[in-house]
Structure 1
């Protein structure tokens, strides 16, 4: 069962349901079409986005007697529709507020790193799973915890990292769960950013996911070439005295928490699961 894909299908249905043009008499049959797949992925220990939770609350084994009217009464459906639309609106507004706060924190974080290090080497890798693999949220969370633990412990390929940031996302039906990972190395001790990107990706692919993962190395020369030509390259070696590159790097980093990415949130989360994380500034200045 593709959990991520099923969650998107459920949400797409409920997005249609809250539109004024939706034919309410179709709701019962539309809801029933996804019941089998929905039952296969539902767990009470997960925290779902409002649209998805509303669908689950109407499953036959969960629905309260008074809520059954939503399928048979237009007035009851209209009330349900209005309340759900407002809940979704507030959820998206909250998501954007969190992203703006995270974005500000990231910008301050990177500014602090620039002040502490004359050279920084930025390596960004996008991590996901093979198209024929469909890990659930529990597996995704376990894999990410393993990876971030390696990052924080500065294990092997992460030696000499002085900062990091990551964001967990869920794309459309075909994209599934994925992570944007940024590792910031001390540029006076590390170089060869393309190599480091490949090694991080290989770690994810071979050790963390045991062959189920895939990755895209943003630091490969072919990918960086266009941005360099346009004067927008913000990964690789960043020198404190090169203000243009520092500004470009700030833009790259802020992308991880861009408020406009309001369709990339996780539709289901585990208890205390974080969609966004970053390192902490050390106390020592480096040259």
Structure 2
């Protein structure tokens, strides 16, 4: 159980970095409107709600002094932080079914009016707040059964699992064909998405206001309120990013000075709440023919800046971040027989494949958000065997 919780928190930390990170003009990355702790708690809470169907948060005891709530399960631990989960909600995002179930039920249940969550405080109809929390948990379970939430969660997670499976097969096939791969990791971004330091606090304030506005729209159900709630601070839309991605991939064939020895690639269309859309890419080159990986990554990044985006783009060369990654460094030259480095590489690329397992941005156009190159042909078996 502890290992599963640790893995969940690591996944959410990475998701937080994707959704809420901003690369400023000085090159430093800042988290704006971060919420990884709250999302971890909400997912853990909803799992407990749906998996432990007979458990209730509190036992209610009655004495001469009145009603008293006694915690009876770990569900009680989530009571006081319940309203914090609303900070996670954004009109720009789609949520895994059990997370969406929470938001939908919250705005239809009296629990939303418990502004100061104290379990023994009298509330409505002679019940204390803890009783209404028990009722809210029962309501979540009832609505979850009504919509078949468990099957919906399984269907939702299938896409991430299929992406991971394809990624694993693809990268292993590359290593089977080439004794050494040169791996380049480049983030392809946009200048307009890089705010000045003075704009950071303003962006943070807007992000924090979005859940409250969306909640107000749900409560009052006015068209003006709904439109107001759907404001966003993202600066690059999906059409622009898709067009530039297609332009880059089409041009690779005609740019042998950069891509002649490229043997594969993995890409992910990412979205941050301030910057909007951008690309995270891994390029695989034949390691017997390419050696200066930092330099080559810079050249590809400059090609993105000057040719593909015609001055609109910027890039970040992850191959120059070796000190930042330490022992988990998994780019640059990787030998076929280096199991440790290959495992680090798959862990790093795995986040690109499974980024949608809890939250993803609502696309304004139909598009793929993750992809790989064509599966390489298997080796003929001709030639000297590889040395271990």
**1:95–1:211 distance in 2 versus 1, CA, 3 Å:** farther
The match for 1:267 is 362
**1:234–1:130 distance in 2 versus 1, CA, 3 Å:** same
The match for 1:122 is 183
Output aligned runs, 1:37-116, within 5 Å.
94-116=155-177
* Cα displacement (A) at 1:98: 0.9
The reply on whether 1:190 has 2:190 as its aligned counterpart is no
Distance 1:268 1:241 in 2: 40
TM-score, structure 1 normalization: 0.64
Output aligned runs, 1:180-219, within 5 Å.
180-219=280-319
Deviations 1:219-271 (A, max 9, x none): 01xx11243x32x11110001122212222222222220256532x3411434
Q: Which runs of 4+ in 1 moved over 4 A?
A: 12-17, 85-95, 152-155
**1:209–1:16 distance in 2 versus 1, CA, 3 Å:** farther
The match for 2:376 is 282
Deviations 1:190-234 (A, max 9, x none): 0111112111211112111111112211101xx11243x32x111
Distance 1:13 1:111 in 2: 32
* Cα displacement (A) at 1:18: 3.6
- Pick from 13, 22, 32 the counterpart of residue 107 of structure 2: 22
Distance 1:266 1:153 in 2: 33
Indicate if the aligned counterparts of 2:177 and 2:378 stay in contact, CA closer than 8 A.
yes
Distance 2:267 2:348 in 1: 12
- Which SS does the other structure have where 1:255 is aligned? helix
Distance 2:160 2:324 in 1: 28
> CA RMSD for the aligned pairs?
3.5
**1:13–1:185 distance in 2 versus 1, CA, 3 Å:** closer
- Which SS does the other structure have where 1:10 is aligned? coil
* Cα displacement (A) at 1:106: 0.6
* Cα displacement (A) at 1:174: 0.8
Q: More relative contact order in 1 or in 2 (CA 8 Å, sep 6+)?
A: 1
- Which SS does the other structure have where 1:101 is aligned? helix
TM-score, structure 2 normalization: 0.49
Segments of 5+ residues of structure 2 without an aligned counterpart are: 1-18, 21-88, 110-138, 195-234
Distance 1:257 1:159 in 2: 26
The match for 2:91 is 10
Distance 1:13 1:284 in 2: 39
**1:90–1:147 distance in 2 versus 1, CA, 3 Å:** farther
The match for 1:175 is 275
Indicate if the aligned counterparts of 1:167 and 1:257 stay in contact, CA closer than 8 A.
yes
* Cα displacement (A) at 1:150: 2.7
* Cα displacement (A) at 1:127: 1.5
* Cα displacement (A) at 1:130: 1.9
Segments of 5+ residues of structure 1 without an aligned counterpart are: 25-77
